[in-house]
Chains A and B, each alone.
Chain A
């Protein structure tokens, strides 16, 4: 059986608690939004934890920052994971903080050797501290980034040197391919697919110029569905798929419908697996 998850957002909490949709096997929780919270939202989260399996998806570790790893932040995340019995912790292969400034954006990294060296060091420290492998997500880059190698080679070397896992965001690969005139399927095939822990899919916004922004405010595009359809058999094993949605909510049902679409898509391969 394949498994499907949904990114937890406050707007869908009431329906997640009231309704039962067997297709939702797990819920992806952003620890930063829920750590050290009491009162109403703590009560909601505790109830959700009774009903769904949680995975943690961080947004502010900034593993790609030149700053030292923030162990206080990691400790809070570790405590949160322990409290809710969370086994998996994913983050983004990006940077978002610089010295005393937090930009709250997933900013891209240069695909260079010295960046890898620094990342490998920080990933090892984070993994040792958390006592589990990090699961790192590929992000979008809108302008070109400095590169001595391809994104896939960059990620592959990090995986090989740290043993970290990959959260492969199909939508992000599609966006990067579109915005930089690359072949999305080829980009995906070059990724270290053997290290993929789970997949992200989401909607995106197409600007008038044809440029695409990773907005998460729309339904999954047909192109991303098609890409998933092409890469899933190449991965050649069952990997969980998570749907992200950050805006333009119209209740839980449309998201559940999208999860069923994903299920239908991958079921053909599950049957043959």
Chain B
């Protein structure tokens, strides 16, 4: 029996992943225990990461999702902590949420996964900046643990509704409490943030001007004041620090 290990591995894979081939085992009922355990493991790992999504879907639909995810061709051979992200890959590939009348699913999974990632992310050294020293002609260097999310459903609130224009959310770790916090920002500030991240060598003001030009808006004191307030809040939250341009 030169391939007994591979044959055995394959038998268990077919049983656990697809519920097939129980008759090849000496006791079909007992063999079913393995599949139940694997489904329960997938369920637990995903439930721990996505409690809001699970609650919103309800037990029946959630378990349908888990079982179809298990049977899919999505690679799950990843480090244990990255496993829940495989469910997002499944949703991206299958659009399971649309097919099952829960179009918010991708946003919900992305939101909860981001929260989990930010909570568990490796610690980083950070620079403490003086927010009173911040000027728009300076550069901004990002730091800290945070992600900018673009969402079409308000999955970060109690009531999940579709919004015509996307909502932008900064999910960040408060390094004092080590808790994850959400900060909803305007689309313009989200674009400013993305541009600043893309062009760290440019001053805040030059990026701001460039963005405003695209919108045919001239920079004025009020806009500068609003942007400076936003940048100060970013720095205060420990997500960036200012440097001389």
Contacts and interface: CB of A to CB of B under 8 A. Distances in A.
Nearest to A60: B80
A71 interface: no
Interface of B: 1-10, 12-13, 16-17, 25-27, 30-31, 33-34, 37-38, 41-42, 45, 75-81, 83, 119-124, 145, 173, 178-179
Contacts of B30: 142-143, 179, 211
Interface in A134-176: 142-146, 148
Given A37-B122, A42-B123, A211-B30, A100 B76 contact: yes
Contacts of A98: 9-10, 12-13
B77 A114 contact: no
B15 to A, nearest CB: 9
Contacts of B7: 110
B26 to A, nearest CB: 5
A48 interface: no
Interface in A91-119: 95, 97-105, 107-110, 112-115, 118-119
B145 to A, nearest CB: 8
Contacts of A179: 30
A35 B30 CA distance: 34
Given A109-B8, A110-B4, 12 more contacts: A36-B81, A37-B122, A41-B120, A64-B5, A64-B9, A103-B12, A104-B41, A109-B5, A113-B1, A144-B26, A146-B4, A213-B33
A112 B4 contact: yes
B183 to A, nearest CB: 18
Given A143-B26, A143-B31, A114 B38 contact: no
Given A104-B45, A105-B41, A38 B13 contact: no
A33 B80 contact: yes
Contacts, number: 127
B76 to A, nearest CB: 5
Interface string A53-92: 0000001100011100000010010000000000000000
B173 A39 contact: yes
23 contacts: A32-B81, A36-B79, A37-B81, A37-B120, A42-B123, A64-B5, A66-B6, A66-B9, A76-B79, A98-B9, A98-B13, A103-B16, A104-B41, A105-B16, A105-B38, A110-B4, A110-B8, A114-B1, A115-B4, A142-B34, A143-B26, A143-B34, A145-B8
A38 B120 CA distance: 5
Contact of B83 (A76, A102, A105, A107): A102
A43 interface: yes
Contacts of B25: 143-144
Interface size class for chain A?
Answer: 35 or more
B37 A105 contact: yes
A92 B180 CA distance: 35
Nearest to B12: A107
Nearest to B25: A143
Given A107-B12, A110-B8, A38 B81 contact: no
A113 B13 CA distance: 21
Nearest to A119: B5
A105 B34 contact: yes
Nearest to A73: B79
B5 A110 contact: yes
Contact of B5 (A37, A59, A101, A112): A112
A263 B120 CA distance: 37
Interface string A257-270: 00000000000000
B25 to A, nearest CB: 4
A134 B58 CA distance: 43
Given A66-B6, A95-B9, A105-B38, A38 B1 contact: no
B42 A104 contact: yes
A118 B5 contact: yes
Contacts of A119: 5
